[in-house]
């Protein structure tokens, strides 16, 4: 048997150069794919699934695009992962992180072909990252103490985040919605309390923020339409269990009156359950499962508002917001925590009737109702708003702020450049490459806006060599602008996460020198 046959038939291996090529090419291809969605003038992608229903997603969010792709190339998978992590961790910057990692690899490829060892490149990148991060830390502004200023910072950050999304037309309006919602949270980063309801119809400008909680349900027939100072029991129980429902049970009776007795006993059982529930002293009963017409009638007689089939997310959030707990047994009313709110009423949004709970226990809670032309627009609007909310809650927790528009990248590039000049040896090439990769982000922002990127970036670089410059790319006028005046800001935490994740991912892919793919074990036929 020849020596080459180390691996089984259908396993293949790529060694050295070829493996590195495969991983570089895959990673750069992914970066090029999302590159065009970067910046305020970035384009959207339509993702169409080939499954049933052929559902379409129109999106600009890097993480959403990459999540929906099925990728074979192992290096590309690493990039998809970092964008997912970025999405979970800080919510925004999902495209930048992939683009930056892609650019770092593109630069690394040139260095490898100059016969510089990958470990040397990684060492250089490490030094460069430390340097870039220190530069950011020195320049970050913190307005936590001055609440007016802090609010305007938040507004600017929200507007900057939204300007690259579908909401960019009404970005001031939505930024205000997002900031109001986040400031109500009073510093907690729990986005559960902000509910986003999507109702097709109207235009995006008709969206609004409503304090309290809105449940997407109608109020039953013959029940009070409005309750003040409500005590709410949130339950997850079947209100029809008291029918004889043992499958395959055969009941033989010798006359019709016996059947009537069975039915009466069933009814009695139901009545008892309802009375147990009423004994909690409530005036609103919300159930996850269905409520039969007989118990419903009993509730209506007792003046209790009963809502059935409240969807599960709705009911969990409702319990959270009103300060109640979800109950499923009703034998000891004293141990069940009821939810409270000041007012329950029915409202109309477009065609639909909804139930609104206002003045809830947890003062932070609120509902954002999005209106829009179609379901796709609404989905994309929700994603954009979610990005903005994530960034804002992160900023409230860590209040350091940077300017946007390619300013942080140019700043880091300048510092990294200076480091490269001071460093002896081959590592300086890698540090230099890092600074070029950082400058790729403003370059791409300019390219997407159809501007002359080479010209703009060199102007920016010149500006940044002056002390304390605020220069960045102003895509609206198509020149270099003062980011402070334009109010383009970004959260420090997002930028830092982008920088660190991108470098680590690039490092990981650089370390690869062999790719082995092997077939899964075959199952033996046991027939």
95 is catalytic: yes
525 is catalytic: no
Quick one: CA dihedral 401, 402, 405, 408, positive or negative?
Answer: negative
50 is catalytic: no
Which residue in 418, 411, 391 sits closest to 468, CA to CA? 411
> Could you write out the three-class secondary structure of 2-49?
CCCCCCCCCCEEEEHHHHHHHHHHHHHHHHHHHHCCCCCCCCCEEEEC
Q: Give the contacts of 178 (CB within 8 A, at least 6 positions apart).
A: 158, 162, 385, 388, 389, 392
Chain centre distance of CA 372: 20
Q: Determine the 3-state secondary structure of 52 from DSSP.
A: helix
Contact status, residue 208 vs residue 260, Cβ threshold 8 Å: no
Burial 368-403, CB ≥16 within 10 A → b, else e:
bbbbbeeebbbbbbbbbbbbbbbbbbbbbebbbbbb
Q: Give the contacts of 191 (CB within 8 A, at least 6 positions apart).
A: 386, 389, 390, 393
Which residue in 96, 105, 103 sits closest to 42, CA to CA? 96
**Catalytic residue (choose from 87, 92, 379, 387):** 387
Helices (DSSP H) in 232-305: which residue ranges?
Answer: 256-278, 293-301
Neighbours of 276 (CB within 10 A): 14
Q: Give the contacts of 429 (CB within 8 A, at least 6 positions apart).
A: 111, 114, 116, 121, 124
Structure tokens at 223: 């029940």
**Catalytic residue (choose from 95, 161, 322, 423):** 95
Q: Which residues, in sequence order, are bridge partners of residue 345? A: 226, 356
Q: Determine the 3-state secondary structure of 327 from DSSP.
A: strand
Q: Give the contacts of 33 (CB within 8 A, at least 6 positions apart).
A: 65
474 is catalytic: no
Structure tokens at 467: 């002390």
Which residue in 454, 428, 383 sits closest to 114, CA to CA? 428
**Catalytic residue (choose from 36, 37, 94, 393):** 94
H or E segment to which residue 490 belongs: strand 489-491
Q: At what angle do helices 94-113 and 427-448 cross, to 10 degrees?
A: 140
Structure tokens at 10: 């259908």
Burial 183-215, CB ≥16 within 10 A → b, else e:
bbbeeeeebebbbbbbbeeeebeebebbbbbbb
**Catalytic residue (choose from 57, 61, 322, 423):** 61
List active site positions: 61, 94-95, 387
């Amino acid at each position: 048997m020849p020596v080459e046959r180390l691996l089984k038939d259908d396993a293949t291996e790529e060694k050295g150069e070829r493996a590195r090529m495969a991983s570089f090419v895959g990673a750069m291809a992914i970066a090029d794919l999302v590159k065009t969605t970067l910046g305020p003038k970035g384009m959207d992608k339509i993702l169409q699934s080939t499954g049933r229903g052929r559902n379409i997603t129109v999106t600009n969010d890097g993480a959403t695009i990459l999540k929906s792709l099925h990728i074979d190339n192992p290096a590309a998978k690493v990039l998809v992962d970092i964008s997912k992590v970025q999405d979970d961790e800080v919510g925004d910057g999902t495209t930048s992180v992939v683009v930056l990692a892609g650019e770092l690899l593109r630069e690394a490829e040139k260095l490898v072909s100059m016969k510089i060892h990958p470990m040397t490149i990684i060492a250089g990148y490490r030094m460069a990252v430390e340097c870039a991060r220190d530069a950011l830390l020195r320049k970050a502004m913190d307005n936590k103490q001055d609440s007016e200023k802090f609010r305007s910072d938040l507004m600017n950050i929200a507007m900057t985040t939204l300007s690259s999304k579908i909401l960019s037309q009404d970005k001031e309006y939505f930024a205000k919605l997002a900031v109001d919602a986040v400031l109500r949270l009073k510093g907690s980063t729990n986005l559960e309390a902000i509910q986003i309801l999507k109702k097709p119809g109207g235009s995006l400008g008709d969206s609004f923020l409503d304090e309290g909680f809105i449940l997407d349900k109608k109020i039953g027939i013959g029940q009070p339409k409005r309750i003040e100072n409500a005590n709410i029991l949130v339950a997850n129980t079947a209100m029809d269990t008291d029918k004889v429902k043992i499958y395959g049970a055969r009941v033989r009776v010798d006359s019709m009156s016996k059947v009537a007795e069975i039915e009466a006993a069933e009814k009695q059982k139901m009545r008892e359950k309802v009375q147990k529930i009423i004994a909690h002293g409530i005036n609103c009963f919300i159930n996850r499962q269905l409520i039969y017409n007989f118990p419903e009638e009993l509730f209506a007689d007792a003046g209790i508002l009963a809502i059935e089939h409240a969807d599960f997310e709705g009911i969990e959030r409702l319990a959270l917001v009103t300060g109640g707990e979800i109950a499923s047994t009703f034998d000891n009313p004293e141990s069940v925590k009821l939810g409270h709110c000041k007012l329950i009423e029915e409202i109309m949004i477009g065609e639909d009737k909804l139930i609104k709970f206002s003045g809830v226990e947890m003062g932070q809670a609120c509902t954002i109702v999005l209106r829009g032309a179609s379901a796709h627009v609404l989905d994309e609007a929700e994603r954009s708003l979610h990005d903005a909310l994530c960034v804002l809650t992160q900023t409230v927790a860590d209040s350091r702020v940077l300017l946007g528009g390619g300013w942080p990248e140019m700043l880091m590039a300048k510092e990294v450049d200076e480091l490269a000049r001071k460093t002896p040896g081959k590592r300086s090439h890698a540090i230099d490459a890092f600074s070029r990769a950082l400058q790729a982000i403003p370059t791409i922002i300019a390219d997407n806006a159809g501007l002359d990127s080479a010209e703009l970036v060199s102007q920016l670089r010149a500006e940044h060599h002056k002390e304390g410059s605020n220069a960045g790319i102003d895509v609206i006028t198509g020149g270099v602008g003062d980011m402070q005046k334009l109010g383009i800001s970004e959260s420090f935490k997002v930028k830092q996460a982008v920088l660190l994740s991108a470098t680590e991912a690039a490092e990981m892919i650089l370390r690869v020198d062999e790719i082995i793919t092997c077939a899964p074990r075959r199952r033996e036929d046991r027939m």
